[in-house]
């Protein structure tokens, strides 16, 4: 089934901006080891170069998320913003890091040691200031805090420490900044995680202040959870702040978006479309990518992800919501489901190609990237630096 984009769908797609993660362009791996790619980014300049390539091809990715401990140059936020601006980009969400240093072995803001809690809060406050200086409007918070064994910590006390910390950080944020609180059911903590699900994130965000909301990572759910239900409830509550898009087969696999269950991403986008129709405006939601391209080429995987997001959002936009509501009103369950299945089965690739060309972009960004020679040039420039740094390809 082939279809053209409606004027409204084309306009909404043009407003869809997808933030790229700096760390998605670097060498990554699993807990067992890191897998090296010749063209993977080494520096923040490399990462921004790669992000700029994705934006040039797709026209949809003007923002780059940064990790504070991995990405900030010696000149701080001002230099970071200038590096991005020189490449036609801007800095997106600021991601503090309170899980890497040895002092966080037993937690950060929920650590039994008050000096460690203060160190973690100080880092979060510094991250707010970094966002202020580089023009970021989003502070994204993910915590590894939790316990591995029963009795290891007081869950109630740890919850109160979290609430106090987020309120303190919220209080120093500029009026232009939002705090997005992420959740995860397990890993690296395996007995309990302090922010284990959307309800806990909701409670802590509500407690933190008026500009705190929940961040939904599509990989951070237990098997069988209905993510579009969570999205609908949070949006209706005005507490849906953003997404980290990826996919999963077992748990938090960080696979590329839509590679395992594209129908689920379609249903999430449909939930957003329904809320936006009710509101009469776009949801102020951050659409962000958070994937680990251990085996796929980094830039290629990002381009593929953006194209997948556009395809699935276009399919969701093609659902006839009036027909869907009419079927619901007469309790026509089959008819309602068929509204979704018809839209999901629609092949929108040709229509998206025409839409991209009308915007001065390549009809097929992935094919354009593969034929551009970008990866070979990046590898030629970066491989000597990687080898000089002691990277082993044995």
Q: What is the per-residue pLDDT for 32? A: 83
Q: What are phi and psi of 93, to 5 degrees?
A: -70, 145
Look-up of token digits 């079927």:
327
* Among 194, 123, 131, CA closest to 163: 194
What average pLDDT does the chain have? 96
Render pLDDT for 147-204 as a digit per residue (tens, 0 to 9). Answer: 999 999 999 999 999 999 999 999 999 999 999 999 999 999 999 999 999 999 999 9
The sign one gets for the Cα dihedral 73, 77, 78, 83 is positive
* Integer angstrom CA distances of residue 76 from 123, 133, 192, 320, 347: 14, 8, 36, 48, 46
CA distance 327 to 323: 6
For residue 283, the model assigns a pLDDT of 97
Measured CA to CA, the distance from residue 232 to residue 227 in angstroms comes to 9
Start-end of H helices in 296-373: 298-317, 321-329, 333-345, 349-358, 365-372
- What pLDDT was estimated at residue 41? 97
Q: Point out which residues pair with 242 in neighbouring strands.
A: 215, 286
- Residue-wise pLDDT for 93-150, tens only, equals 999 999 999 999 999 999 999 999 999 999 999 999 999 999 999 999 999 999 999 9
Instruction: Identify the pLDDT of residue 31.
Output: 77
Banded model confidence at residue 34, pLDDT cuts 50, 70, 90 = confident
DSSP-derived secondary structure letter, 25: G
Going by pLDDT thresholds of 50, 70 and 90, the confidence category of residue 389 is: confident
- pLDDT at 210 (0 to 100): 98
The whole-angstrom separation of Cα 59 and Cα 254 is 24
Q: Which residue has the tokens 């991403």?
A: 265
Report helix, strand or coil for 254.
coil
Q: Which residues pair with 179 in a beta bridge?
A: 139, 212
pLDDT at 2 over 60: no
Q: Which CATH number applies to 11-382?
A: 3.20.20.150
Tell me if residue 224 falls in helix, strand or coil.
coil
Cβ proximity of 99 and 108 under 8 Å: yes
**pLDDT of 394 above 70:** no
* Token pair of 353 as six digits: 């190609």
Percentage of the chain modeled with pLDDT above 70: 99
Residue 349 has pLDDT above 60, yes or no: yes
Q: Measured between alpha carbons, how far is 79 from 82 in angstroms, rounded to an integer?
A: 5
Look up residue 104 and give its DSSP letter: G
| Cα 279 off chain centre by | 24
What is the maximum alpha-carbon separation in the chain?
69
What pLDDT shows up at residue 393? 64
Q: Cα separation of 382 and 388, whole Å?
A: 10
């Amino acid at each position: 089934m082939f279809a053209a984009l409606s004027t409204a769908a084309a306009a909404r797609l043009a407003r869809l901006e997808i933030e790229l993660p700096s760390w998605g362009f670097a060498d990554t791996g699993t807990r067992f080891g890191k897998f090296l790619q010749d063209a993977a980014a080494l520096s923040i300049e490399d990462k921004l170069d790669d992000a700029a390539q994705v934006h040039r091809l797709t026209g949809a990715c003007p923002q780059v998320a940064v990790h504070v401990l991995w990405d900030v140059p010696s000149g701080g936020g001002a230099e970071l913003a200038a590096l991005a601006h020189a490449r036609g980009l801007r800095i997106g969400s600021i991601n503090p890091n309170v899980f890497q240093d040895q002092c966080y072995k037993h937690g950060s803001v929920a650590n039994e040691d008050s000096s460690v809690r203060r160190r973690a809060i100080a880092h979060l406050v510094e991250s707010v200031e970094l966002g202020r200086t580089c023009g970021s409007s989003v502070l994204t918070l993910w915590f590894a805090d939790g316990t591995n064994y029963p009795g290891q910590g007081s869950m109630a006390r740890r919850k109160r420490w979290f609430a106090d910390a987020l309120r303190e950080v919220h209080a120093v944020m500029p009026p232009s900044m939002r705090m997005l609180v992420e959740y995860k059911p397990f890993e690296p903590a395996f007995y309990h995680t302090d922010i284990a699900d959307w309800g806990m994130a909701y409670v802590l965000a509500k407690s933190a202040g008026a500009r705190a909301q929940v961040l939904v990572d599509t990989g951070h759910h237990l098997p069988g959870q209905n993510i579009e239900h969570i999205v609908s409830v949070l949006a209706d509550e005005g507490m849906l702040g953003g997404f980290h898009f990826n996919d999963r087969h077992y748990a938090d696999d960080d696979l590329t978006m839509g590679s395992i269950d594209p129908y689920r991403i379609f249903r999430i986008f449909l939930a957003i479309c329904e809320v936006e129709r009710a509101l009469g405006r776009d949801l102020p939601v951050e659409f962000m990518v958070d994937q680990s391209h251990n085996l796929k080429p980094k830039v290629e995987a990002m381009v593929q992800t953006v194209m997948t997001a556009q395809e699935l959002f276009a399919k969701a936009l093609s659902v006839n919501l009036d027909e869907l509501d009419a079927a619901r009103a007469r309790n026509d369950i089959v008819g309602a489901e068929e509204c979704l299945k018809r839209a999901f089965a629609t092949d929108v690739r040709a229509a998206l190609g025409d839409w991209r060309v009308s915007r001065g972009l390549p009809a097929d960004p992935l094919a354009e990237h593969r034929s551009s020679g970008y990866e070979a040039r990046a590898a030629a420039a970066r491989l000597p630096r990687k080898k000089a740094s002691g990277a082993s390809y044995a």
